[in-house]
């Protein structure tokens, strides 16, 4: 029984495709959780529907949905719907963990995006926000960080890693969420630096751009994920092939 939290350096870095790839390559009973889906109207397929389509895993759980494409705490406030209760989310994820070999929890946006605002008990009159990092620490679950390949990624990735380390969180790995078919000099240079921030000084996976439209998604997923995540990705070979 394992819980893995999938986070990113920001929005649109490939978290959903990464989560689908992890689900496709995992063995045993797998559940996928989306704590809060934003920017999708009721009844419209969201990220979990895409994960099921790609991975074939139907055991998915969406805890809250808000129609506006905002951070969960703002989307909840604007819609008039209740924010996600952290204690309830923790309890539901732990219950899934008791009956599954793997529970994948996909975050919204980046690591520190607030999920809900609640009155701070210690300081009346102020608000307290909780984030995916808070959730992962309470669950004692490692975080897999999905990042970009190109310019800007080194700063965003380093900042996210430092926040995880400062909070005594566990970094399970760093994965590139969209690797171009023809990488430029920036992408090839960044590979070494990104790997240097990761456990074992190697990337946990590199997902090819456009992977969600590939018919052989499970095969592509296995080739893109490291053996630690159920794949066959050859980090030394990839590093040598893209060396700048």
Q: Which residues are catalytic?
A: 34
Query: Residue 205: phi, psi to the nearest 5?
Result: 170, 160
Rg of the Cα atoms in the chain: 18
Show the tokens assigned to 86. Answer: 């952290």
Q: How crowded is residue 73: how many other Cβ atoms within 10 Å of its Cβ?
A: 23
Round to whole Å and give the CA distance between 44 and 192. 40
CB atoms within 10 A of CB 60: 21
Residues 6+ apart with CB under 8 A from 29: 59, 99, 100, 101, 102
Q: Tokens standing for 4?
A: 């893995």
Paired tokens of 239: 């590093």
Strand ranges inside the chain, DSSP E: 2-8, 30-34, 37-38, 60-62, 65-66, 102-106, 116-119, 127-130, 143-147, 171-179, 205-208
The span from the CA of 82 to the CA of 74, in Å, is 11
Hey, which residues does 4 pair with through a beta bridge? 104
| Dist. CA 38–CA 80, nearest whole Å | 14
């Amino acid at each position: 029984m394992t819980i893995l939290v999938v986070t990113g350096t920001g929005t649109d870095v490939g978290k959903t495709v990464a989560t689908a790839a992890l689900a496709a390559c995992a063995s045993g009973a797998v559940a996928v959780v989306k704590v809060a889906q934003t920017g999708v109207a009721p009844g419209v397929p969201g990220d979990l529907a895409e994960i099921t389509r790609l991975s074939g895993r139907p055991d998915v759980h969406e805890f809250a949905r808000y129609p506006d494409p905002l951070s969960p705490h703002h989307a909840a406030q604007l819609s008039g719907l209740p924010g996600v209760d952290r204690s309830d989310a923790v309890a539901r994820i732990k219950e899934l963990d008791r009956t599954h070999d793997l529970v994948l929890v996909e975050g919204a946006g980046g690591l520190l995006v607030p999920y809900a605002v609640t009155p701070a008990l210690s300081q009346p009159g102020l608000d307290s926000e909780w984030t995916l990092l808070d959730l992962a620490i309470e669950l004692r679950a490692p975080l897999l960080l999905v990042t970009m390949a190109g310019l800007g990624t080194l700063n965003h990735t380093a900042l996210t890693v430092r926040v995880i380390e400062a909070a005594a969180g566990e970094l399970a790995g760093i994965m590139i969420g969209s690797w171009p078919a023809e990488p430029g000099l920036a992408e090839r240079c960044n590979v070494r630096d990104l790997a240097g921030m990761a456990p074992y000084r190697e990337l946990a996976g590199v997902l090819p751009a456009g992977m969600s439209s590939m018919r052989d998604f499970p095969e592509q997923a296995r080739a893109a994920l490291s053996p630690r995540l159920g794949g066959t990705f050859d980090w030394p070979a990839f590093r040598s092939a893209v060396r700048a």
